[in-house]
Every structure is written in C-alpha cells, then in structure tokens.
Structure 1
C-alpha cells in the first residue's frame, strides 16, 4: 500500500488530554517516524510535532482522532507531490 509523509502539529491546552492523546499515538505507533514535544510554560500549552509515514486514510484517521480531543488542536501538512 502506498504511503505518504506528513507532519502533524498538535497544541495541547490542558494536560488532562495527554493520557488519551498518548493512547491514540501508541495505536498508530508503527507509522510514527519521529516525535518532538515542547512544553511552553509561559503560555501553559504543550506543542508536539509528529512525523508520520502512512497510508493517507491512516493519517486522516489519526489527525481526526487527535483533533476531536478536548483542549487539543491539530494541523496536518504534506510535502508537495512529485511532478
């Protein structure tokens, strides 16, 4: 199955969402290439970047599940397709 590379940016407002967030990320762990999290204490948020290499439907499902969590905002970006 063809896969795509994507970057999912996540901003977590309340730490109460982190258990469920980590559970979802674990569910898709086979597709995660890398993860970086930075707590931004001045703004009381946590910023997480997830690099995934997965089929398009898996990327959409992962991003959608994360975005439905309370206090969590996500944005997914893709590299340009080759010409």
Structure 2
C-alpha cells in the first residue's frame, strides 16, 4: 500500500466548456480531495480551482495527469515530502 501524502493542486481553467469534464474527473477522485475552492475570475475570463488532497502519489498523479489532458486546463501540484 502506498503512503498517503498531503498536498495542494492548483487548476486554471481557460475554457468554460471543459467544466463538465473537469467535474467528472474530480468526482472520480473525491476520496482523495479534502477540500475544494472554486473562484470564477470573470475579468480575466478564467476560473481557478484550489484543491487540498490527501492520498497516494499514484492517485494524486493520476488525477493531475487526467486534468492536465483536458483542453484549456493548466495544473500544478505541491506535495508534502512526508
């Protein structure tokens, strides 16, 4: 069994049409998402999603990898070392 890690994931959404696909991915990984904050930044035409995660590196990497493949989405993660 993989060690559980804490971290944050930042998601910037440039294409609002991608929202259903993003939400479907986040729903599939709901078991590792501790908290979620969504901010529509209307003046810039983007949305920002901040996630607090607690899970294996495989699960976190799987989620960020799938999100990063969605059109108009940029993803970065910061994971604790312990």
How many pairs does the alignment contain?
81
Measured on the aligned residues, the alpha-carbon RMSD in Å equals 0.9
Q: Tell me the SS of whatever aligns to 2:43.
A: coil
In the TM superposition, what is the alpha-carbon distance from 1:9 to its structure 2 partner?
A: 0.2
Match of 1:50 in 2: 51
Extract unaligned runs of 5+ from structure 1.
none
Which residues of 2 match residues 60-71 of structure 1 at below 5 A? Answer: 60-71=61-72
Q: Compute the displacement of 1:63 (Å).
A: 0.3
Cα deviation digits, residues 14-65 of structure 1 (max 9, x gap): 1110000000000000111000010101100000001110001000000000
Task: Give me the TM-score of the superposition, normalised by structure 2.
Answer: 0.94
> Which residue number in structure 2 is paired with residue 72 of structure 1?
73
Q: Which runs of 4+ in 1 moved over 3 A?
A: none
* Structure 2 gap segments, 5+ residues each: none
Q: When the two structures are superposed, what TM-score results if normalisation uses the length of structure 1?
A: 0.93
